[in-house]
Structure 1
Amino acid sequence: MTSIKLSVLNLTLIFFFSLQFAQAQKFNFTEITKNDLEKTESTIDSTAGVEILEFHKDVYFDVRAHSVNLITKVYKKVKFYNTRDTDLNYATTNMNLYQEGGLREKVYNIEGITYNLIGDEIIKSELEKSQIFETEKNKYYDQVVFTQPQINKGSITEISYKIVSPIFWEIDEFEFQFDVPAKKVTAEIRTPTYFVFNQIPKGSIQPNYEYKKKKDFRINGKVDVYKYSAEDVPPLKDEKYVGNINNYKSGILFELVSMKYRDGSQKKYAKSWNDVAATISFSDDYKSDINRVRHFKDDIDAIKSATTDSLQRMKMIFKFVKENIAWNNYSGKYFDKGMKDALLEKEGNVADINLTLTSMLRYAGFEANPVVISTRGNLKPFYPTVDRLNYVIAHVLLDDTGYVLDATDKFSQPNVMPIRTYNWNGVFMDNDNKKWGLINIQQPPIANKIQFINVELDENGEARGKVKETLDNHYAYLLRKEYSSTSQEKYIQEKESEQRNMLIENFKIENLESDEELSESYNFTVENSFDAVGNKIFLNPLLFLSSKKNPFKSKERIYPVDFIYPFNDQLVVNIKIPEGYKVESVPEPIRIAFAASTGSYEYSLAGSGQYLRLNVNFKMQDSEIDADQYNFLREFYKQMTAKEQEQIVLTKI
């Protein structure tokens, strides 16, 4: 819990002690008709298996003698047109309720009914208390889960519940778009007039909006009332190469700007990113605890004496942290265990690991500083905020080159971090030089893949050959993670299955445990590798590597294409055609480009006699493509995938 949260809490409680509280009424469930249950498809999206018929959120403040809580009441009515697994997900409600120290969110008044049409009779099935499960998810969250009973094709469900949160200065986002269509979405959010909130829209759909002031008996004072509504909202569908789709889901975010007190004074909370950086950096973790070196001094002294090469020394310290503190899967920008206990117990959260790394690098003489970020699974911060930042990495400036490091993953390298870290900019904190603010997290270095394939065909359709593949940067990182999570036998079996049931032999992988270029090689045999018609053979020269479909199917796109990292794929295929055949025709060479120098694709095939050589080079130098470039990218991929379906024609001599 940050000092900002505690100070807001303390000051506000003093102000609210004299106010009174009144209990709000529950939502009334609606009448469900036979026609409602007989409806077979959504008028918004006929392919949808589920539709939200009604969603309402009511948010207000609950003020008692010695506490202030934020109340969020939710009502939802859902229609099931189908009962596929993905559709049935909407029958389950899963709530993560924050708890830390004396602050604990709770849920009350959970009610649920499922309606089914059996013959001509509407049958109700009520959610029982025994079907509601509450568990401790981890030390920060309790989890409440319940599933509506008796879900069938055509069912309609209604649920309502109330969440009570002592973290009253954080109003959850009002989402009015989902991954299924929604007929009617409304919200009423009431805040005391002495609390001033910014409303920040996100997504491409704007709801109807009403505002007014009125007296609210719940706080015995005036409130600002914000009403939002939207109807016939189309689903936001996930597509290929999207980061966190929730970043693009239409909704309204609330930011506490200021708070007024009885004496007329005002405290402001809206910040610049420099303010956010300064707030975090002046906490004890970043101001003093990060400079306690006695817990690792001897270990780093040994590394310093082992080499005079600065880059090598940085890598050795990085490796030392990865080998000595395992990540416990908890995020966080503040210490949990602290450096001493994390090193003793050889385990810690993100901050325990990466703030320790930063401290060690500083002790070793590097210009090293923490950078606080929001991870890929977390929403991008749409305004300057401390609370929406959930992760910290290390930044090193060495010989005018910047390096970002995350030691939570054994396979990460300098500037090649886990995928979760590539989401947004970072908040940089250099207390010594009084430098704070927002910096770009540079896109990863280009990931290179080079494949050499030698293959010999016989007239019976069998292809025999050898593959040699080298990978670096994120290509190597991802393969190391994949390979380490399974056995070699299973890895080979999956590879054989993915590539047209080929038989793989003499498999070998090199540099698996190092940060050098990774290489993989194997011999293969593939049956039915081409189509024979009469005295002709039709062969795809890419064999099992051709692209089958354009991944960009939608005609338009409202959010960027996110490749995560730039890449350069090079492929060379040497083909020996069967004895007694000659080449009749080969695909024409092609070179296409996307956005000037951003993307390029080259394909050329040449040869003589029984030998052919194919060269393919596909490069994408930017990891993110703006939505306004989508149609050009789609056409680029369309031409590329079409070329890769073209075939060599061989004729029997």
Structure 2
Amino acid sequence: MKVKLFASLLVSLFFILPIFSQESSAVKFGKISPDDFKTTIYSIDSGAAAVIIADKGSTEIVGNSKGWFSLEFKHFKRIHILNKNGYDAADIQVLLFANDGLEEELQGLKAVTYNLENNKVAETKLDKKAVFTDKRSKKLVVKKFTLPNIKEGSIIEFEYTVKSDFLFNLQPWEFQGEYPRLWSEYVVRMPEFMGYIFLSQGYHPYHIKDNKNKLQTFSIMDNSGTTRTEHYSLNANVTDFRWVMKDVSALKEESFTSTLNNHIAKIEFQLSDYRYPLTPKKIMGSWEQASGELLKSENFGANLSKDNGWLGDVVKEATKGATNDLDKAKKIYAFVRDNMTCTNYGRLYLEKTLKNILKDKSGNEAELNLLLTAILIRAGFTVDPVLLSTRSHGYAYELYPLMDKFNYVISRLDLGGKHYFLDASQPRLGFGKLGYESYNGHARVINVAASPLDFKADSLIEGKMTSVFIVNNDKGKLIGKMQQVPGFYESFNMRNNIKENGKDKLFSDIKKEFNAEIEILDSKIDSLDQYDHPLGINYDFQFTTDNEDILYFNPMFSEAWKENPFKSADRFYPVEMPYTIDETYILRIDIPNGYEVDELPKQIMVKLNEDDDGSFEYRLSNSKGAISLRSRIRLSRAFFHPEEYDTLREFFNLVVKKHSEQIVFKRKANP
């Protein structure tokens, strides 16, 4: 599209809007003195290996020489490296987008390392020959360099400009990261004729968030013709958006985190439309449009609507012996799961045809699940593919069809008024089950309606039941029986470990973790090949301890929570457990012959909060020569907000403390 259609148009609109805050960072490239080296410990994080003094960026839309517009992104950063653990802060990467022979251009790169020598600032400049190019893919080029002469106490800084003709690739900005930031600022100058959606996230407040309007002239040249270069100009209102965060702590990964990318303070942009005085055009369509395009795409769903007669023999072979439709669907699912190998996860599109996937007996997760969808459709079922984003990939947005926010394809089977979600790419995964990585919020059914879904970890219950019975045998020895039914996901992991290491390794690990000297006498695993059901772990055991005057027993044995998963004193983003939990442990133990109880843990029962989102009970009784224990931990939620962290941490402190307590038996004085 050329701008000559509106070359003579001048727009003069005036608005009364807030003006920019006058506060700004005084840090500028090349302006550095010995005083800048004085701080060796920063109050924001006394243990930081490096601190980002200033990180400033701006993006402006400018006229280009191709009759259109370009993005001009400028970036400046200064970092104080405090010790050797911060040396990797000197490794810099600049990501450049490429497509159809065009590539974003890195311009004006300057990078310097400063060291204090004899109370004078010595600088070492980056040699341009030390900038390397890494072509990661057809669409991604990475420029890499490492600042020279890095020492403990070095200050480094760099600046550059990226010129881009890809208007959809307006640079995002991260206000937070691995190292603390004293000042992080981003300015975007947005003309009224370009519409972008702003996607902001994070928990750190803005120090400055404002905007101002101004009238700006855009100069455009068009030298694509065979005659002389044509010049155009356009006056339009431009809004300067400015975001500043100050004293931003580093974001460190804690337990029960989907991905830090879900929580890091950042802002992203998506091109939505062109506006007047350009020819109005919608760039970002609806979910229904996006779904329709995917269903027509040869790289996704085009083959699903075809007859696919070549799959007839596959259906016949896979469904032998099926007695009803559900059994038929299960057999087709098992056929794909058990006969195909997944070569890659985190894909959205076909990289080869469905016929070749079947022939090769391999494919990425999208290919295997699209093949499963095609076979089920051929067998007469109603099935649709589903797009989702796994926990490690980050959240997807419900409002906008942003394909790069998704990274996984599964199938949805509609049968008997019920939905079954299927993933045939994971060996030993049960029918109608998904890995907990798939429970990450918004997902989309790719059908005419583009139906939204919500996979919440709160909907998963990982139940576990353990029963231990210990008695005195006729030889005066304590012998026991353990019966355990792990939850679905623990069973899934156990099956995979058994497949890789064997059953003996499983019971060897159980023996090591038992918290007592035992010998396993007999062992059995139920439902090992019934992937839709949890395992059954059963074994008999005998204590091998000598007859001592004092016997110490941790009654939880191998089932105790030994460590609090929440170790940090503070947490600035949510706790995201993969599922809710309900663990029950029951013990009955005879008092050993010739002994009596000396110490017994106290009973306790507590609720997590007033809403009863969790509870812990630990009940003991000593009656008729035996001790009975019931321990139950229940959490009915998997997601907890940062302000709930202290309560959750204290809850597990209590669990760990109670589970560490022991029963003490002492030899009777007159046995």
TM-score by length of 2: 0.80
* Structure 1 unmatched runs, 5+: 1-10, 19-26
Q: Could you say what secondary structure the match of 1:605 adopts?
A: strand
Q: Deviations over 1:144-194 (max 9, x none)?
A: 444434443322222334445443213232221224321111122234432
Aligned partner of 1:176 in structure 2 is 175
Q: Could you say what secondary structure the match of 2:315 adopts?
A: helix
Taking the aligned partners of 1:414 and 1:643, their CA distance within structure 2 comes to 38
Taking the aligned partners of 1:489 and 1:13, their CA distance within structure 2 comes to 73
How do 1:454-465 residues align onto structure 2 when only pairs under 5 Å count?
Answer: none
For the pair 1:229 / 2:244, whether they are aligned, the reply is yes
The CA deviation at 1:102 is: 4.2
Q: Deviations over 1:312-351 (max 9, x none)?
A: 3222222222244433325333322231222233333333
The CA deviation at 1:299 is: 0.4
For the pair 1:167 / 2:183, whether they are aligned, the reply is no
How do 1:284-323 residues align onto structure 2 when only pairs under 5 Å count?
Answer: 288-292=302-306, 293-323=308-338
Q: Residue 105 of structure 1 contacts residue 166 of structure 1 at CA under 8 Å; is this kept in 2?
A: yes
Sort the Cα spacing of 1:70 and 1:629 in 2 relative to 1 into closer, same or farther, 3 A: same
For the pair 1:637 / 2:652, whether they are aligned, the reply is yes
For the pair 1:371 / 2:371, whether they are aligned, the reply is no
Aligned partner of 2:116 in structure 1 is 117
Q: Residue 455 of structure 1 contacts residue 464 of structure 1 at CA under 8 Å; is this kept in 2?
A: yes
Aligned partner of 2:447 in structure 1 is 430
Q: Deviations over 1:269-293 (max 9, x none)?
A: 4555455445544545566322232
Q: Deviations over 1:22-72 (max 9, x none)?
A: xxxxx9733333333342211222232221111122223463327755343
Whichever residue aligns with residue 581 of structure 1, its letter is Y
1:384 aligns with one of 400, 421, 433? 400
The CA deviation at 1:253 is: 2.5
Whichever residue aligns with residue 413 of structure 1, its letter is G
Deviation larger for 483-492 or 299-308: 483-492
Sort the Cα spacing of 1:553 and 1:305 in 2 relative to 1 into closer, same or farther, 3 A: closer
Sort the Cα spacing of 1:124 and 1:521 in 2 relative to 1 into closer, same or farther, 3 A: farther
The CA deviation at 1:576 is: 5.0
Q: Deviations over 1:436-481 (max 9, x none)?
A: 23222254542233334456899xxx99866554324222223334
Sort the Cα spacing of 1:35 and 1:524 in 2 relative to 1 into closer, same or farther, 3 A: farther
Taking the aligned partners of 1:501 and 1:216, their CA distance within structure 2 comes to 80
The CA deviation at 1:307 is: 0.4
Q: Residue 394 of structure 1 contacts residue 404 of structure 1 at CA under 8 Å; is this kept in 2?
A: yes
Aligned partner of 2:346 in structure 1 is 331
Taking the aligned partners of 1:270 and 1:323, their CA distance within structure 2 comes to 40
How do 1:247-286 residues align onto structure 2 when only pairs under 5 Å count?
Answer: 247-260=262-275, 265-269=279-283, 273-274=287-288, 276-281=290-295, 283=297
Sort the Cα spacing of 1:260 and 1:630 in 2 relative to 1 into closer, same or farther, 3 A: same
For the pair 1:470 / 2:470, whether they are aligned, the reply is no
For the pair 1:409 / 2:423, whether they are aligned, the reply is no
Q: Deviations over 1:90-129 (max 9, x none)?
A: 3333455555554555655554333333554544444445
Sort the Cα spacing of 1:294 and 1:79 in 2 relative to 1 into closer, same or farther, 3 A: farther
Whichever residue aligns with residue 45 of structure 2, its letter is D
Sort the Cα spacing of 1:521 and 1:94 in 2 relative to 1 into closer, same or farther, 3 A: farther
Whichever residue aligns with residue 249 of structure 1, its letter is I
Q: Residue 516 of structure 2 contacts residue 557 of structure 2 at CA under 8 Å; is this kept in 1?
A: no
How do 1:22-101 residues align onto structure 2 when only pairs under 5 Å count?
Answer: 29-61=29-61, 63-65=64-66, 69-84=70-85, 87-94=86-93, 97-99=96-98, 101=100
Q: Residue 372 of structure 1 contacts residue 427 of structure 1 at CA under 8 Å; is this kept in 2?
A: yes
How do 1:542-621 residues align onto structure 2 when only pairs under 5 Å count?
Answer: 542-553=556-567, 557-576=571-590, 578-594=592-608, 596=611, 598-608=613-623, 611-621=626-636
For the pair 1:360 / 2:361, whether they are aligned, the reply is no
Taking the aligned partners of 2:122 and 2:653, their CA distance within structure 1 comes to 51
Q: Could you say what secondary structure the match of 1:644 adopts?
A: helix
CA-based RMSD of the aligned residues comes to: 4.0
Specify the structure having the higher radius of gyration (Cα): 2
The CA deviation at 1:241 is: 1.6
2:360 aligns with one of 341, 345, 365? 345
Q: Residue 415 of structure 1 contacts residue 445 of structure 1 at CA under 8 Å; is this kept in 2?
A: no
The CA deviation at 1:502 is: 7.0
Whichever residue aligns with residue 333 of structure 1, its letter is L
Q: Could you say what secondary structure the match of 1:639 adopts?
A: helix
TM-score by length of 1: 0.82
Q: Could you say what secondary structure the match of 1:614 adopts?
A: strand
Sort the Cα spacing of 1:593 and 1:557 in 2 relative to 1 into closer, same or farther, 3 A: same
Aligned partner of 1:439 in structure 2 is 453
How do 1:182-261 residues align onto structure 2 when only pairs under 5 Å count?
Answer: 182-204=181-203, 205-208=205-208, 209-215=210-216, 219=220, 221=234, 222=236, 223-260=238-275
Deviation larger for 599-608 or 364-373: 599-608
Q: Could you say what secondary structure the match of 2:335 adopts?
A: helix
Q: Number of matched residues?
A: 623
Identity of aligned residues (%): 25
Taking the aligned partners of 1:193 and 1:298, their CA distance within structure 2 comes to 59
